[in-house]
């Protein structure tokens, strides 16, 4: 079943069109990656889909319902959750408060269950629950951002560059968690610069270039594609990570 | 200066300072959440005081027979109506300017301030209006100092409300939403928080507190004037800055400090100097400790 359907989406900053009419879709429980260089329009697409920006034109359906231009809090209530670029934890609030804010529209019982589950996923956060989120390392902050998103019981989790600025080992840990989130049946839309890792988790991918989708296909096909290898994986040598 | 005089001025200062603190709360909460100095706050204080007079005159004889019940009704009605007025102010004067440069809403808040005060003057005239006597003004003697029952009531109500607001902001869901928006409005929206409503609600809460302060002030001084919002609005602003703007306990600390300091000033200088002293304090604070007594520069990691 189609969970998210995007038709001719255009996102503009004033006169600049960052996204120039893209179409894509995502099924329930599917993990899809959105790839592309800096400025290709990936983050702008996520901002429009999460409700942080109003699309200039186009249509978005979620779960069969029209959701074009709904504000962010209403998208979140429908189960569309964005983990924004740069994590954006609430620095002066404690880790516990950050996680509880993720479950803002969930019942107290749900929050208690989900908090336990988040701490099982990220055991290192347990000792830091009462620390201010701003005092955590970048990796721990990403865990808070992911945990906070899971607390909202998302049906579609959108991740904007989750590995950005993280040490390789920490990034690997975060990718493993994303893999297990996807395996748990939550649909994931993953925006990543690390194309190899992203396609290792996602089943399909779209490549954005200058605001347009120029290529799409299964992860295996994209990984084998000569253009992708040249442009994003290092001169077609296929040296992996 | 005798010790007795000193103690008496401290007590007087604490009473009036608790009222300043209540008004300062509105400045500090709105600043904390949207980084706007809402100068309309002084006018909301005045509007609250006048709505209190209106309530008492509507209550008529009942208000004189049951002054405490009358006061309670005046406090509640004034808080509700002034909260409603704050809602209108936010909708009309600030929300349309949400994405404008910060100077625009600041100027808009000054305009709103003068607009409300002018309307009050047009409706009521320039004559002061009297407040009914709620409690005995015959002061109690406590050791070397004297304290009127009304004054004690005012300080207790004001301080309890401020402590209540502090726990509201720290403990409740709405309070947590306010603090989240203060850090990062977009991220708060992504949590499913209706940030527009929380901001509006913060304005309304600030307005309601200003109204309570206005009514208490009227009861303490026995009368209200059409321009009272100018001076006391700025004094409360000074209190908010002194305590650390954006910091809720800071409003109480700042209010009490300004109250006591300006009270002290009357020992050494004629009463007319009080305004000059308050604003000299503001300049000193801004020069020496711009973040205020309880304010801190918070390091935020990207």
Check pLDDT > 90 for residue B128: yes
Residue B144 in domain: yes
Indicate whether B301 belongs to any domain: no
Domain that holds residue B216: 3-288
pLDDT of residue A239 exceeding 60, the answer is: no
**pLDDT > 80? residue A115:** yes
**Residue A63 to chain B, least CA–CA distance (Å):** 18
Region B171-197: mean pLDDT is 96
Give the dihedral sign, CA B116/B240/B275/B136.
positive
Asked if B301 reaches chain A (Cβ–Cβ under 8 Å), the answer is yes
- Parallel/antiparallel/unpaired status of strands A80-83 and A31-35: unpaired
Q: Pick the residue from chain B with its C-alpha nearest to A89.
A: B187
Residue B195 domain-assigned (yes or no):
yes
Q: Does B95 touch chain A (CB under 8 A)?
A: no
Domain tally for chain B? 1
Confidence (pLDDT) at B296: 62
Contact A92 B179 (CB under 8 A): yes
pLDDT, one tens digit per residue, over B23-49 is 999 999 999 999 999 999 999 999 999
Q: Residue B299: closest CA among chain A residues belongs to which residue?
A: A134
Q: Is A73 at the interface with chain B, CB within 8 A?
A: yes
| B215, two tokens | 């009514």
Give dist(CA A203, CA B89) in Å, integer: 52
- Choice among A136-150, A153-167, B283-297 with the minimum mean pLDDT: B283-297
- Judge whether B104 lies within some domain: yes
State the pLDDT at residue A122.
Answer: 96
Question: Residue B187's closest CA among A154, A82, A41, A62?
Answer: A82
Instruction: With CB atoms and an 8 Å threshold, state whether A71 touches B189.
Output: yes
Cβ within 8 Å, pair A90-B173: no
Q: Is the ipTM of this complex over 0.85?
A: yes
Gap between the Cα atoms of A83 and A97, Å rounded: 17
Question: Using an 8 Å Cβ cutoff, are B157 and B21 in contact?
Answer: no
User: Is A84 within 8 Å of B190 (Cβ atoms)?
Assistant: yes
pLDDT for A236 = 46
Nearest CA in chain B to A146: B191
Residue B1: per-residue pLDDT:
65
pLDDT at B268: 83
Residue B28 lies in a domain: yes
3-state SS assignment for residue A8: strand
A152 contacts chain B (CB < 8 A):
yes
CATH of the domain at B162: 1.10.3470
Nearest-Cα residue of chain A relative to residue B178:
A101
The answer to whether the CB of B62 falls within 8 A of the CB of B138 is no
Q: What angle do CA B266, B271, B274 make, to 5 degrees?
A: 75
Whole-number pLDDT of residue B294: 87
Coil/strand/helix, residue A240: coil
A81 touching chain B per CB within 8 A = yes
B184 to A90: CB separation less than 8 angstroms, yes or no: yes
Q: What is the pLDDT of residue A237?
A: 47
Phi/psi region, residue B233 (left: phi>0; alpha: psi -120 to 50; beta: rest), is alpha
Q: What angle do CA A170, A172, A176 make, to 5 degrees?
A: 120
Q: Does B126 touch chain A (CB under 8 A)?
A: no
For residue A163 the two structure tokens come to 């590995």
> Chain centroid to CA A96: how far?
22
Q: Nearest-5° angle of CA A166, CA A167, CA A172?
A: 85
Residue in B with minimal Cα distance to A75: B192
Across the interface, whether the CB atoms of B192 and A73 are under 8 A apart is answered yes
Please give the pLDDT value at position B65: 82
B49 within domain boundaries: yes
Could you give the CA distance from residue A134 to residue A28 in angstroms, rounded to a whole number? 34
Question: Beta partners for A216?
Answer: A206
The Cα–Cα gap between B276 and A73 comes to: 47
- The H or E element containing residue B142 is strand B140-142
Q: Are A201 and A190 in contact (CB under 8 A)?
A: yes
Residue B93 is given by DSSP the state I
Average confidence score pLDDT of chain B = 91
Work out the average pLDDT over A81-88: 96
Distance CA A50, CA A71 (A): 8
Q: Please check whether residue B241 lies inside any domain of the structure.
A: yes
B46-85 pLDDT tens trace = 999 999 999 998 988 777 788 889 999 999 999 999 999 9
Say if the Cβ atoms of A101 and B193 lie within 8 Å: yes
Output the 3-class SS for B235-250. HHHHHHHHHCCCCHHH
Position A241 pLDDT exceeds 60: no
Average pLDDT, chain A: 93
Most B-contacting residue of A91, A102, A155 (CB-CB within 10 A), to test interface: A91
- pLDDT tens-place string over residues B204-238: 999 999 999 999 999 988 999 999 999 999 999 99
Q: Is A85 on the interface with B (CB under 8 A)?
A: no
* Residue A165, C-beta contacts closer than 8 angstroms, at least 6 positions apart: A86, A138
Residue B299 included in any domain: no
Task: Give the mean pLDDT of A52-61.
Answer: 97
Q: For chain B, say whether A97 makes contact (Cβ under 8 Å).
A: yes
Give the HSE-up count for residue A134: Cα atoms under 13 Å, Cβ half-sphere: 12
Rounded CA-CA distance B251/A212 in Å is: 52
Pairwise CA distance, residues A236 & B13, whole Å: 77
| Shortest alpha-carbon distance between residue A43 and chain B (Å) | 14
SS3 readout for A79-127: CEEEECCCCCCCCCCEHHHHHHHHCCCCCHHHHHHHHHHHHHHCHHHHH
């Amino acid at each position: 079943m189609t969970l998210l359907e995007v038709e001719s989406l255009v996102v503009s900053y004033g006169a600049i069109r960052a996204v120039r009419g893209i179409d894509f879709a995502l099924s329930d429980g599917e993990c899809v990656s959105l790839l592309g260089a800096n400025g290709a329009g990936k983050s702008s697409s996520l901002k429009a889909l999460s409700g942080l920006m109003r699309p200039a034109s186009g249509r978005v359906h979620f779960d069969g319902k029209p959701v074009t231009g709904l504000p962010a809090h209403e998208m979140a209530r429908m189960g569309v959750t964005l983990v924004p670029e740069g994590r954006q934890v609430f620095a002066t609030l404690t880790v516990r408060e950050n996680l509880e804010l993720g479950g803002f529209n969930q019942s107290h019982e749900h929050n208690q269950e989900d908090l336990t589950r988040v701490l099982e996923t990220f055991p290192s956060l347990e000792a830091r629950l009462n620390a201010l989120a701003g005092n955590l390392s970048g990796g721990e902050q990403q865990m808070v951002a992911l945990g906070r998103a899971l607390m909202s019981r998302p049906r579609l989790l959108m991740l904007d560059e989750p590995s950005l600025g993280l040490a390789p080992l920490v990034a690997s840990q975060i990718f493993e968690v994303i893999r297990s989130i996807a395996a748990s049946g939550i649909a994931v839309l993953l925006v990543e610069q690390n194309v190899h890792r992203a396609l290792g988790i996602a089943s399909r991918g779209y490549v954005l270039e200058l605001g347009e989708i120029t290529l799409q296909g299964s992860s295996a096909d994209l990984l084998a594609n000569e253009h992708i290898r040249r442009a994003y994986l290092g001169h077609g040598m296929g040296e992996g990570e | 200066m005798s010790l007795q005089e000193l103690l008496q001025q401290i007590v007087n200062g604490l009473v009036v300072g608790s009222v300043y603190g209540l008004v300062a709360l509105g400045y500090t909460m709105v600043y904390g959440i949207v980084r706007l100095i809402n100068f309309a706050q002084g006018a909301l204080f005045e509007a609250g005081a006048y709505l209190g007079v209106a309530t008492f005159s509507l209550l008529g004889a009942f208000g004189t027979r049951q002054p405490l019940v009358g006061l309670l009704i005046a406090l509640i009605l004034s808080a509700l109506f002034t909260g409603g007025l704050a809602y209108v102010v936010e909708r009309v004067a600030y929300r349309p300017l949400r994405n404008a440069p910060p100077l625009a809403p600041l100027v808009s808040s000054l305009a709103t301030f003068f607009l409300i005060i002018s309307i009050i003057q047009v409706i009521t005239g320039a004559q002061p209006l009297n407040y009914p006597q709620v409690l005995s003004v015959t002061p109690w003697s406590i050791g070397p100092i004297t304290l009127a029952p009304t004054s004690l009531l005012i300080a207790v109500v004001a301080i309890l409300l401020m402590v209540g607001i502090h726990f509201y902001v720290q403990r409740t869901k709405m309070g947590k939403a306010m603090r989240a928006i203060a850090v990062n409005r977009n991220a708060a929206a992504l949590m499913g928080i209706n940030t527009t409503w929380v901001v509006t609600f913060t304005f309304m809460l600030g307005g309601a507190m200003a109204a309570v302060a206005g009514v208490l002030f009227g009861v303490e001084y026995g009368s209200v004037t059409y321009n009272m919002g100018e001076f006391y609005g700025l004094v409360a602003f000074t209190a908010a800055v002194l305590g650390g703007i954006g910091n809720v306990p800071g409003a109480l600390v700042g209010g009490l400090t300004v109250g006591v300091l300006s009270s002290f000033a009357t020992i050494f200088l004629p009463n007319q100097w009080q305004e000059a002293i308050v604003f000299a304090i503001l300049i000193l604070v801004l020069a020496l400790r711009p973040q205020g007594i309880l304010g801190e520069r918070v390091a935020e990691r990207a």
